[in-house]
Amino acid sequence: MTPHDEVTPVLETVGLTKHFPLRRGRRQVVHAVDGIDTRLMRGTVVALVGESGSGKSTVARLLAQLLPATSGVIRLNGTPVSAHFGRRFRGYVRNVQMILQDPFASLNPIHTVRYVLGRSISIHHPKDDEIRAR
Ligand X SMILES: Nc1ncnc2c1ncn2[C@@H]1O[C@H](COP(=O)(O)OP(=O)(O)O)[C@@H](O)[C@H]1O
Judged by beta carbon, residue 50 or residue 126, the one nearer ligand X is 50
Q: What region, left, alpha or beta, does residue 77 occupy, with left being phi > 0 and alpha being psi -120 to 50 degrees? A: left
Give yes or no for residue 58 binding ligand X (CB under 6 A): yes
Give yes or no for residue 115 binding ligand X (CB under 6 A): no
Considering only the stretches 47-55, 68-76, 100-108, 123-131, report the one whose residues sit in contact with ligand X under the rule CB under 6 A. Answer: 47-55
Give me the residues paired with residue 16 across strands: 36
Judged by beta carbon, residue 98 or residue 116, the one nearer Mg ion is 98
* 3-state SS assignment for residue 45: coil
Find which of ligand X, Mg ion, none residue 39 binds, CB within 5 to 8 Å per kind.
Answer: none
Q: Are strands 29-40 and 71-76 parallel, antiparallel or unpaired?
A: unpaired
Of 19, 39, 56, 75, which one interacts with ligand X (CB under 6 A)? 56
DSSP H or E run through 20: strand 11-21
DSSP H or E run through 58: helix 56-63
Residues that bind ligand X (CB under 6 A): 20, 30, 32, 50, 52-58
